[in-house]
Chain A
């Protein structure tokens, strides 16, 4: 091994580090270590002059290893790797010691903090000696995309990709496209026809030669990794079709809450208590009637059925408030002499045009009655002398009165919940679900359509309740992410990943099941396991588990880690000083 020439750079981070850690003392102590050619401090090491200092030292002093004692490597490791690359040496010859988050920010004893900073940095110096030059590798990107679900999200994603000239396989479980939007008559708040929206999407999807629509089909297996998935789809005839795709967009949507779970609402027991989707069916048929075939005089809409309740779903289903207002409009226009009561907890009218829609609904004389969260309305049958079929008991919040609302037809605004098959789908495409069963995004704010599995995206109501505009926006965002990958043509994998020494591997397959990213594959012919580096996140689970010691994690070799441990042990630190 070539002689190590190490440069140590200790950052003040303004006063973030320097106010607790005696930086000069660390520099002085580290400068005396074996192999250390130069040790310096600087106010902001990540600044351009700071980086330039490192570059110049590498060039002038012939450094071949660099240790930066500063903030967390999550923050600036890429910055300093780039500096090494600019100076002409392999970027993986860098090691960082975190003396800010793990030292100055969490300690106030200056003497002990200085000692800790010195120990952490000296451990980094010991480790960096064993660093190896590593190279990033790339894999080709397959431009085809598998879209799961033919609802408004799936259609939007497929059209965006198909219009860009990329192959799309649109897989729909049911015998028609359109999903839940296809069960709806008008949309809130502009009262546009849902059918018109969908017809355009479906026609365009069917006409686009790049989009292969597969109805009554389902994904049965997904193998491979980002850019190189192999999907097995079972079609209507029961045949298995093998598809090679580079990305997957999951748009499996939601199902409605089962209202019969709330006993006080009498759904399934009183015939004229119906769900919002049943009302949609009536409106689509053009007749709003009670089960007895009469035109209802009093119609009541009950909000938050299954939503915003600790007992059922604590979350808000987001679309029901405006949908209820839409029903108020539709019922009033279908039956002008009817009286519509809107029984709600809070009116969520946050979307574009929604507050105005609410105002117009009040002007259309919808009677708004507020009930208390946790005290759901109770429905009972009316007596023979009453001019209505049912009464809804509510503790009304704005008046403080306990009231009974007359009703001939009660519409329950059922909330959204994950589909029964969401667990199976999550397992198939290897993504996670939250405690309610919604698919989890990579980052709720900054990366809302990606998942923890590279190449698998989520869009629409499968990740949380959503309205149509948000769903379409997400679908198109996922398509944009995929088009960006396709445009690059290849996927660059990090140089840090696990490798199996096939000579040592016994083929026990312990690692296969253990890998959280399904990156370990078993070769049935060779009877050996190997790691697909494009999928590996270098977590080290397989390395630790391998009974034969056949798996090695690049950049985290035993030698490197032992050297670092020795560095922090007091015996060794004392020995150095």
Chain B
């Protein structure tokens, strides 16, 4: 069955940042230079071709964009300035919008204004909500304890609701990702036990971000630093999330420092701070290929994160110094940034934090399945071809 080309898809992908993919004439330099490209997952060239031809199903079910960590070597090698690295980036954005069943993601990528509006609206709602609760139940002059302006048991309950909403959305997206990559793409029969055999890949890649460090560059430091910063940012976030979700009351206690939680929190804060500054600097200086083409969405993420880290640190200091009212006001601002920042996660690039290790997991399974098939393992069902 012949696949239908869709000349319109390339127009849509432009919204996601694929401005130059049309220039590609398929010399293959990009795939040759990429350390992650192998005999099973050939990229970026193949993805570039699918993109040019508008083979929507092929793209939707492809895993390759997630295997690219955007070191920028391909874009540097490209003789036509077709920006394969940026094209892969835009494909990741597009895939995020495809995984998202609500259609919100697509709207955000198409319009930064809309996303900004969403962020501001949620921030205002959150702000009003928290102030309303605070003035109704607590005392603006109390930061900690039962009479606190925003007591930890309330925030904790709120966190759980927020987490439930996020996991609902993300869970649906992950299900769709799994369906696209593992079922709809077809091509190979996947025995169920491979899901168990290869499961270790998920935490392994999540906590090490190993692939990022494997990107090749002539200057090793060019890869090492971004990887370290990226890892620091990611781990910082995860640690902070765990601390907030479980030990919020201890984080807020004071004025003396509770080293059992604060030691980790400081470490995480340093990771987040360095990561954010590094990325903002990179996007302003535009020296590295991967930071040269920022979308509005990227800036929203970084600015919100910056606000979150700064207000987080500031309220902590104020509370230690006994400036409870200022600490409470900062806390509200902090939450006004945190809520939209978390809520937009399933719909924006930020979701790659989960999709990337998942993709490594799925890729490992598919590769293993292919090996089994080659070795002549019985095929229990006919190989499906992608429609």
Contacts and interface: CB of A to CB of B under 8 A. Distances in A.
A375 to B, nearest CB: 13
A354 B259 CA distance: 71
A298 B2 contact: no
Contacts of A393: 2
Contacts of A403: 2-5, 53, 55
B271 to A, nearest CB: 42
A396 interface: yes
Contacts, number: 57
A239 interface: no
B7 A367 contact: yes
Interface string B1-37: 1111101101100000000001101100000000000
Contacts of A402: 1-3
B217 to A, nearest CB: 28
Contacts of A363: 22-23
A339 B10 CA distance: 11
Interface of B is mostly: mixed
A362 B11 CA distance: 14
Contacts of A399: 46, 49-50, 53, 55
Interface in A389-422: 391, 393, 396, 398-399, 401-406
Interface residues of B, number: 22
A365 interface: yes
B5 A405 contact: yes
B90 interface: no
Interface string A254-298: 000000000000000000000000000000000000000000001
Contact of A367 (B2, B4, B5, B50): B5
Nearest to A393: B2
Interface string A358-401: 01001101011100000000000000000000010100101101
Contacts of A406: 4-5, 7
B31 to A, nearest CB: 12
Nearest to B46: A399
B105 interface: no
A455 B125 CA distance: 94
Interface string A295-322: 0001000000000000000000000000
A404 B26 CA distance: 20
A217 interface: no
Contacts of B7: 298, 339, 341, 367, 406
Given A367-B52, A396-B53, A401 B3 contact: yes
B4 A359 contact: no
A398 B49 contact: yes
A442 B360 CA distance: 67
A403 B57 CA distance: 13
A372 to B, nearest CB: 14
B25 A369 contact: no
Contacts of A362: 22-23, 25
Nearest to B49: A399
Contacts of B10: 365, 367
A248 B169 CA distance: 82
A363 B22 CA distance: 6
Nearest to B82: A362
A335 to B, nearest CB: 13
B4 A404 contact: yes
B4 A365 contact: no
B2 A369 contact: no
Contacts of A368: 25, 52
Contacts of B80: 359
A16 B58 CA distance: 67
Nearest to A338: B7
Nearest to B52: A367
A402 B2 CA distance: 5
Nearest to B45: A398
A361 B137 CA distance: 67
Interface string A37-59: 00000000000000000000000
Given A399-B50, A403-B53, 14 more contacts: A298-B7, A339-B7, A339-B8, A363-B22, A363-B23, A365-B10, A369-B5, A391-B4, A396-B53, A401-B53, A403-B3, A403-B5, A404-B5, A406-B7
Which 10 residue pairs across A and B have the least CB separation, nearest first? Answer: A339-B7, A402-B2, A404-B2, A399-B49, A398-B26, A404-B4, A403-B5, A367-B7, A403-B3, A405-B5
11 contacts: A298-B7, A339-B7, A362-B25, A363-B23, A369-B5, A396-B53, A399-B49, A399-B50, A401-B3, A403-B55, A406-B7
